[in-house]
Structure 1
Amino acid sequence: MIIKSKDDQQAQVDFLSDLLERDFPKEKKSAIERELKSLRSGNKGEETSAYYLDFDFRRSEDWALIHDLRIEHEGDVAQIDHLLISRMLDIYVIETKNFASGVSISEEGAFCYFYNNKPFDIPSPITQNERHISLLRHFLQKCDLLPKRLSRTLTPEFKNIVLISPKSRLTKPSKGTYDCSMVMKSDRFLERFKDDNSGNTFGSVFSNLARTLPSVGLKRFAEVLALHHKPASIDYLAKLGLKEAASPHESAAETAPDCPKCGKAMMLRTARKGKNTGNQFWGCSGFPKCECTVAIEKSVDMRHTCPKCDGEMIKKMGRESGKAFWGCKAYPTCNGSISIDLEKGRGNK
């Protein structure tokens, strides 16, 4: 059964794509391109693994599947790509990597990926996943989330799995003592899963009935765990060093408005899908924490100033007429107003 799907990250992709269209220095654009490529590559890898996992387990009542689970606990974070949980609380913690040109593991356990046939060292995803497991174990215990069966708290058994793209080249050490059996291509995971669970016959399950959750109990536990998901919020402007360079677009004819939701400066962006594809609009520079947008034609209205006190005006609705108008924000101290269909400056004085 599928409990949670991966968070949609199209908005982040669109935001980085919009940044690429702006007039940044070459080195800044290169940094944006790398970030965008990494985001797209990660998404593709997780989507590929999710496809195989969903196909094999979505109809199962004995296994619960959670995609994209981000846990925050005592100042630490675990970004878990996939969790596969059984009724006996066997928990596969699955890390996904997408290396188009392949990955190699040395006899000492060092990982490297290839780009233009050149090797580049990377942190071990096995070790990374071990940290995720450690945090998840402590989180479940500390928050008292582990289910009980016959008045006894069940003890989970964690399994560390690293999946890479089926099209990637995977080179493992031919000898040595380093165990990298948990690293495999995503289309081979089912074989590993069957090997791990080949001993779970009807008799063994019956004998372990005291530590086996009913399907409804498994679903409830997985749903509660998924509720603790904390979506990541990345300030790309700060991460890429674009805070100063990303000042709002200005021209003699038009100045970018402040965000009506959070007050930050807005940025000129371009719609990439839907009926407004290709049209420009104002998007908050605080994205993704603030997703407020303002249509270009509406942003001009935001520059209205009160004809009586030169203060800020806000859109209001007449109680009797039912028609919209601009009214002074300082009302009732100032009762200046402008009819929506009148030009700026021709309001009541």
Structure 2
Amino acid sequence: MDYFSQIIGGFAVYWWLVPVVLIISFSQSPWFKGLLGEFLVKLTAKLRLPANTYHRVHNVTLPAADGTTQIDHIFVSRYGIFVVETKYMKGWVFGGEKQSQWTQKLYRKSYKFQNPLRQNYKHLKALESALGLSPDVIHSVIVFAGDSTFKSPMPANVTCGGGYITYIKSFTKPVLSEASIHNILSKIGSLRLKSSWKTDYQHVQNLRARYDSAANRQCPKCGGSMVLRIAKRGATAGNEFWGCSAYPKCKTVQNVTK
């Protein structure tokens, strides 16, 4: 038997390993984990949040000054609007409300990721601006799906698993009329970009452009790197600006070119 025949024979015996390896690799990808986390949130909401009280809108991409912003889940009810950011993670999670980066610790390895509260803050401001609503009726909710454990004190709106349901249901005072709810849902439907592969791809390209710009920007005063921040107070609340990473030592700021 020649060498080529041996290869063919070996493949005939072990061909099933190819799809197994592909499936394992696919299941470990960030894209798949993101989809799984969003699916778990959708399923829990469907089972535990009455559809006639909490109107569900998923995977909403809205135009923004710097490209697009993508919201995982929006729940509209007479008790307010709940904007949900999903993270699918395993292991220990360390972080604080005011920290720019949080840490995931898994099997003795540590990984940094953006503070999801800050990430979701931009979503809230985009929705607030698009709908013309008071910030008092829009609430940020963070959901960690997967086998993760908080190792730092977290605010009530940062939850694990189905804990976000309890947080949403803790709001019991009506703040929106049925007419307002109908108008809000209609406006979201008219403003959102069509849910498609093309929309998702363009959103990723917008994110890359923003972060590439951030990586190459230096502070003209001290030479440090400039980072994107979001104004939380004053007339510019919700707008992004460039701030020096050496703050508070260096307070250089620059406007974001739109």
TM-score by length of 2: 0.59
| 17, 24, 39: which one aligns with 2:31 | 39
| 122, 126, 146: which one aligns with 1:135 | 126
CA–CA distance in 2 between the matches of 1:193 and 1:229?
23
| 88, 101, 118: which one aligns with 2:91 | 101
| 144, 153, 168: which one aligns with 1:164 | 144
Cα distance, 1:220 vs structure 2: 5.0
Cα distance, 1:103 vs structure 2: 1.9
**Aligned CA-pair RMSD:** 3.4
Residue identity matched to 2:165: L
Q: Which runs of 5+ in 1 are unaligned?
A: 1-19, 22-32, 147-153, 174-178, 240-349
Q: Does 1:196 align with 2:196?
A: no
Report if aligned partners of 2:89, 2:146 keep a CA contact under 8 Å in 1. Answer: no
Residue identity matched to 1:127: R
Report if aligned partners of 2:78, 2:177 keep a CA contact under 8 Å in 1. Answer: yes
Cα distance, 1:227 vs structure 2: 3.5
Cα distance, 1:36 vs structure 2: 7.2
CA–CA distance in 1 between the matches of 2:200 and 2:71?
16
Matches within 5 A, 1:65-104: 65-87=56-78, 90-104=80-94
| 101, 107, 111: which one aligns with 1:116 | 107
CA–CA distance in 1 between the matches of 2:155 and 2:168?
16
CA–CA distance in 2 between the matches of 1:103 and 1:34?
24
Q: Which has the higher helix share?
A: 2
* Match of residue 183 from structure 1: 158
Cα distance, 1:34 vs structure 2: 9.0
Change in 2 beyond 3 A, CA 1:107/1:35:
same
* Match of residue 234 from structure 1: 201
Name which one, 1 or 2, has greater alpha-carbon Rg. 1
Matches within 5 A, 1:268-283: none
Cα distance, 1:78 vs structure 2: 1.6
Change in 2 beyond 3 A, CA 1:74/1:108:
closer
Change in 2 beyond 3 A, CA 1:191/1:125:
same
| 45, 49, 61: which one aligns with 1:53 | 45
CA–CA distance in 2 between the matches of 1:194 and 1:125?
21
Report if aligned partners of 1:166, 1:187 keep a CA contact under 8 Å in 2. Answer: no
Change in 2 beyond 3 A, CA 1:234/1:194:
closer
Change in 2 beyond 3 A, CA 1:171/1:212:
same
Report if aligned partners of 2:95, 2:115 keep a CA contact under 8 Å in 1. Answer: no
Report if aligned partners of 2:57, 2:73 keep a CA contact under 8 Å in 1. Answer: yes
Cα distance, 1:167 vs structure 2: 2.4
TM-score by length of 1: 0.45
Cα distance, 1:121 vs structure 2: 1.4
Report if aligned partners of 2:57, 2:75 keep a CA contact under 8 Å in 1. Answer: yes
* Match of residue 213 from structure 1: 178
CA–CA distance in 1 between the matches of 2:32 and 2:26?
10
CA–CA distance in 1 between the matches of 2:160 and 2:38?
12
Report if aligned partners of 1:70, 1:80 keep a CA contact under 8 Å in 2. Answer: yes
Report if aligned partners of 1:64, 1:219 keep a CA contact under 8 Å in 2. Answer: no
Residue identity matched to 1:93: V
Question: Matched residue of 1:169: which SS?
Answer: strand
- Alignment identity in percent? 16
CA–CA distance in 2 between the matches of 1:222 and 1:80?
14
Residue identity matched to 1:187: G
Report if aligned partners of 2:57, 2:74 keep a CA contact under 8 Å in 1. Answer: yes
Change in 2 beyond 3 A, CA 1:60/1:34:
closer
Cα distance, 1:156 vs structure 2: 6.1
Matched pairs, number: 179
